[in-house]
Structure 1
């Protein structure tokens, strides 16, 4: 069964994806990367993390997989601009079977290698000051994500999925990290990005076509993000689950 990415790949979405680096989004994996490794980055998006990996494996090679050919055009351009040659990007159909995906990664990894994954946990999103419209937005996002075949709270399920995929519990190391947005610049960037996603990505189309909310609801949620971003005492955190699975 194919799953549809809830937000699409419009500029408002790629704005946050391109912000991600190996340091801020894969720190749990970096100590395990060796110069001669071959790395498969599944769901690489615009490739910023994949390219970071490639710079750390100068005698190795990185393949970035993504289901959007348009995004990979930008990924290839970014790699070329940075002079990173030991990387290639190919298209993979997005799937809604995470256990099957982990099982296939396990099969494709040579003995002694690692399968690593990091996923957000949407219900862990928390903020101050409290705002009922943001609670409504979080619940809407999760509802639409599940209707499209995804699991918004994937972060908390990674250990369970890895076990179901055939990894022994003793071979799984679990951890978590979080993003925090509170400084004025961070608040402005995060809040404007979500305003734009709510009104200008694929999200509103998925919401309206599925009858999950109205345009007026979306406008109200975007306004709530705008208000949060303007508040000096604004604070937001987002937890991510991580697993390192030894093959």
Structure 2
């Protein structure tokens, strides 16, 4: 099973694709979006890059079994992409800016590999506008602790609010962004993931952080409560590298 969802994660990119284009999917994971791009418009050549080679072995196996010649994969880090300068017409990344300590450094690398006049497309989450029902005091407390964990790792849970600003500063032009809510994890699965992350943090050397301990108790209660609804807010951005 490939991860990713082309209509959900990257549907806004499909109208940008034209025959003959070269497309780069940065942080492609198991390659579902990469494969979707490569079969959406013919012929479009698509390269998926991910830092975990074992994911790419699985993705490459799917491509070979289906006999798809327009899709390839390469191992590499987003900050040091294994591709030449100005090599792609479209560069896409889903859920990448929010996991990057230095967005300016990442965007400089994406600018490097994009041809003049080419298009950057980003899908970036914004937890500040996520919708959860019910949203109880325990949910809020647990999420505050979870966001504290993300920031400690250099991530930005609210990156979707600022991604357009980062892209403009990086030198891109014609920046257009819109926000859209899409179903995310199941409500209870999200609660369990938050609980697990906080519990793991409390086992780290140095003793438990009182704020995280309180958040973990709230997450425990949330995960054992009833069901609910969750939809994540995504900022879908399109910009152009200046000619």
TM-score when normalising by structure 1: 0.76
Q: 1:85 aligns with which of 64, 69, 74?
A: 69
Alignment of 1:154-165 (within 5 A): 154-165=159-170
- RMSD of equivalent CA atoms: 2.7
Partner of 2:180: 177
Q: 237-246 vs 61-70, which deviates more?
A: 61-70
Q: 2:229 aligns with which of 235, 238, 243?
A: 235
Q: CA 1:203 to 1:60, structure 2 compared with 1: closer, same or farther past 3 Å?
A: farther
SS in 2 for 1:113: strand
Partner of 1:6: none
State how far apart, in whole Å, the 1-side matches of 2:70 and 2:102 are.
30
Alignment of 1:132-151 (within 5 A): 132-151=137-156
Q: 2:27 aligns with which of 33, 43, 49?
A: 43
Partner of 1:190: 186
Q: 1:123·1:138 contact (CA, 8 Å) conserved in 2?
A: no
Q: 129-138 vs 140-149, which deviates more?
A: 129-138
Question: Which one scores higher on RCO, CA 8 angstroms, separation ≥ 6?
Answer: 1
Q: CA 1:72 to 1:165, structure 2 compared with 1: closer, same or farther past 3 Å?
A: same
Runs of at least 5 residues in structure 1 that lack an aligned partner in the other structure: 1-14, 182-188
Runs of at least 5 residues in structure 2 that lack an aligned partner in the other structure: 79-99
Structure 1 residue 26 corresponds to structure 2 residue 10: yes
Q: 1:39·1:62 contact (CA, 8 Å) conserved in 2?
A: yes
Partner of 2:130: 125
Give the count of matched residue pairs: 216
- Give CA-to-partner distance per residue, 1:40-85, whole Å, 9 cap, x none: 1111122111111111243231111222223223322333344333
Q: CA 1:217 to 1:151, structure 2 compared with 1: closer, same or farther past 3 Å?
A: closer
State how far apart, in whole Å, the 2-side matches of 1:57 and 1:207 are.
48
- Give CA-to-partner distance per residue, 1:5-37, whole Å, 9 cap, x none: xxxxxxxxxx9x82x311111122111111221
- Give CA-to-partner distance per residue, 1:183-221, whole Å, 9 cap, x none: xxxxxx613432553466x6643454274534x854651
Partner of 2:85: none
State how far apart, in whole Å, the 1-side matches of 2:221 and 2:229 are.
17
Structure with the larger helix share: 1
Structure 1 residue 73 corresponds to structure 2 residue 57: yes
Structure 1 residue 99 corresponds to structure 2 residue 93: no
Partner of 1:112: 117
State how far apart, in whole Å, the 2-side matches of 1:83 and 1:226 are.
46
